[in-house]
A and B are shown apart, each in its own frame.
Chain A
Amino acid sequence: MTYQFDFSWLIGSLPVLLKGIRITAQLILIGAVFGVALGIACAWVRALGPKWLKPVVATYVELIRNTPFLIQLFFIFFGLPSLGIRMSELTAANLAMIVNLGAYSCEIIRAGIQATPRGQFEAGASLAMTPFQAFWHVVLVPALQRIWPALSSQIVIVMLGSAVVSQIAAEDLTFAANFIQSRNFRAFETYIVSTLIYLALAILLRQLLAGLGGMLFPRKASR
Chain B
Amino acid sequence: MTEFSFWDILRNLLLAARWTVVLSLVSFIGGGIVGAALLFLRIGGRRGMQFLSRGYIQLFQGTPLLMQLFLAFFGLGLFGIDVPAWLAACVALILWTAAFLAEIWRGCVESIAKGQWEASASLGMGYLQQMRYVILPQALKVAVPPTVGFSVQVVKGTALTSIIGFVELSKAGSIVTNATFQPFTVYGLVALIYFALCWPLSKSSQLLERKLNVAHRNH
Contact = CB atoms under 8 A, between A and B. Distances in A.
Given A3-B78, A65-B202, A187-B74, A74 B63 contact: no
A66 B199 contact: yes
Contacts of B199: 62, 66
B106 to A, nearest CB: 15
B184 interface: yes
B79 interface: yes
Interface stretch (B29-37, B41-49, B108-116, B188-196): B188-196
B159 A71 contact: yes
A195 interface: yes
A67 B194 contact: yes
Nearest to B162: A70
A164 B63 contact: no
A210 to B, nearest CB: 15
A168 B18 CA distance: 26
A174 B78 contact: no
B187 A79 contact: yes
Given A66-B202, A67-B198, A198-B62, A78 B187 contact: yes
Nearest to A161: B64
A80 B59 CA distance: 36
Given A67-B198, A75-B188, A203 B67 contact: no
Interface of B: 59, 62-68, 70-71, 74-75, 77-80, 152, 156-157, 159-160, 162-163, 170, 173-174, 177, 182-184, 187-188, 190-191, 194-195, 198-199, 202
Given A164-B160, A188-B75, A66 B198 contact: yes
Given A67-B156, A164-B160, A188 B74 contact: yes
A195 B67 contact: yes
Given A160-B63, A195-B63, A74 B183 contact: yes
Nearest to A178: B70
Given A188-B77, A195-B71, A202-B62, 17 more contacts: A66-B195, A66-B202, A67-B194, A68-B159, A71-B194, A74-B173, A74-B190, A75-B191, A79-B187, A79-B188, A81-B183, A163-B64, A164-B163, A198-B62, A198-B63, A198-B64, A198-B67
Nearest to B152: A66
A188 B71 CA distance: 6
Nearest to A75: B187
A66 B197 CA distance: 8
B98 to A, nearest CB: 17
Contacts, number: 117
A191 B67 contact: yes
Interface in A180-206: 187-188, 191-192, 194-195, 198-199, 202-203
Nearest to A3: B78
A202 B187 contact: no
A68 B170 contact: yes
B184 A83 contact: yes
Given A70-B159, A79-B188, A63 B67 contact: no
Which of A161, A162, A163, A174 has the most C-beta atoms of chain B within 10 angstroms of its own C-beta? A163
B177 A78 contact: yes
A69 interface: yes
Interface string A35-46: 000000000000
Contact of B66 (A75, A83, A164): A164
Given A75-B191, A79-B183, A191-B71, A174 B159 contact: no
Interface in A63-119: 63, 65-72, 74-75, 78-83
Which of A65, A68, A195, A202 has the most C-beta atoms of chain B within 10 angstroms of its own C-beta? A68
Nearest to B75: A188
Contacts of A163: 64-67
Which of B70, B77, B156, B173 has the most C-beta atoms of chain A within 10 angstroms of its own C-beta? B70
